[in-house]
């Protein structure tokens, strides 16, 4: 089955700086890569996703890049703000048939004011 | 109102007790999932259901069972709870007819087994 590794497990950055979280996956059949943000006391919420037919996707201050050859994808947050402090999860899955997601172990991001 | 609700939100129980966690959704989604979250381990899939008559085991189904009573309801049972089942449990839903695979999560149930 799919195996997703996520690094780092914790990350602290100064407000206004950029943050990068990296994930690798093992199953070459995976073609859908979402990122979820989990705020304290809440369930995870999708913030951005990318499919294997594109290499990069942006939405305001967040972007995701995908390298299918190397089987890794990354989340980039620019101009970080205090409200970006949360736990972030990457995931990998397929949109053919049995669409389960395999999640990474999470990154706790702290923005230092 | 929340689209995906979970009851109870917090539960403390004793070893050997049977416990049921319930999940309801008003999103009209056909697919529902139960995950377990432990510190440092991320989200692990326990069971999932793609429609009312479909139940599938996930990565860590041992010690758990589920029931899909209706399209909107998916419950998770621990027949005889043990301390290492202490964790945060999340229910999620998705729309199988959509090109998007987005899963929508409930607020979670914090379960403590003494």
pLDDT tens per residue, range A35-92:
999 999 899 999 999 988 778 999 999 999 999 999 999 999 999 999 999 999 999 9
Contact state of B101 with A103 under an 8 Å Cβ cutoff: no
Contact state of A46 with B103 under an 8 Å Cβ cutoff: yes
Cα→Cα distances B63→A37, A112, B83, B87, Å: 29, 41, 12, 14
Task: Return the H-helix or E-strand segment holding A57.
Answer: strand A56-59
* pLDDT class of A96 with cuts at 50, 70, 90: low
A-chain residues near B107 (CB < 8 A): 41-43
Interface of B with A (CB under 8 A): 4, 31, 35, 40-45, 48, 58-59, 90, 92, 94, 96, 99-103, 105-108
Given a contact cutoff of 8 angstroms between Cβ atoms, the answer to whether A91 and A82 are in contact is no
Helix (H/G/I), strand (E/B), else coil: B111: strand
Residue of B nearest to A43 (CA): B107
**Which of B88, B87, B50, B81 lies closest to B64 in space, CA to CA?**
B81
Order the strands of the A4-7 sheet from edge to edge: A4-7, A19-25, A72-77, A62-67, A56-59
* Sign of the Cα pseudo-torsion (A99, B71, B64, B104, in order): positive
pLDDT by residue, tens only, chain B of 114 residues = 569 999 999 999 999 999 999 999 999 999 999 999 998 788 999 999 999 999 999 999 999 999 999 999 999 999 999 999 999 999 999 988 777 778 999 999 999 999
Largest CA distance in chain B: 43
CA B40 to chain A, closest CA, distance in angstroms equals: 6
pLDDT > 60? residue A97: no
B-chain residues near A46 (CB < 8 A): 102-103
């Amino acid at each position: 089955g799919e195996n997703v590794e996520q690094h780092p497990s914790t990350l602290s950055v100064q407000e206004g700086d950029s943050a990068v979280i990296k994930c690798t996956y093992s199953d070459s059949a995976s073609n859908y890569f979402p990122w979820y943000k989990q705020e304290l006391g809440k369930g995870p919420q999708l913030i951005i996703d990318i499919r294997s037919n594109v290499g990069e996707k942006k939405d305001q201050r967040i972007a995701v890049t995908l390298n299918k050859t190397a089987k890794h994808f990354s989340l980039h947050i620019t101009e970080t703000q205090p409200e970006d402090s949360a736990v972030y999860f990457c995931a990998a899955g397929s949109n053919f048939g049995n669409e389960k997601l395999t999640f990474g172990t999470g990154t706790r991001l702290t923005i230092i004011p | 109102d929340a689209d995906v609700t979970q009851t109870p939100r917090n539960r403390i129980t004793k070893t050997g007790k049977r416990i049921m966690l319930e999940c309801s959704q008003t999103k009209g989604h056909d697919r529902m999932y139960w995950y377990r979250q432990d510190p440092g381990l991320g989200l692990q899939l326990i069971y999932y259901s793609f429609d009312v008559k479909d139940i599938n085991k996930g990565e860590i189904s041992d010690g758990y069972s589920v029931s899909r009573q209706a399209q909107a309801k998916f419950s998770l049972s621990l027949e005889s709870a043990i301390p290492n089942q202490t964790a945060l449990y999340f229910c999620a839903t998705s729309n199988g007819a959509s090109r998007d695979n987005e899963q929508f999560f409930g607020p979670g149930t914090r379960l403590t087994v003494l």
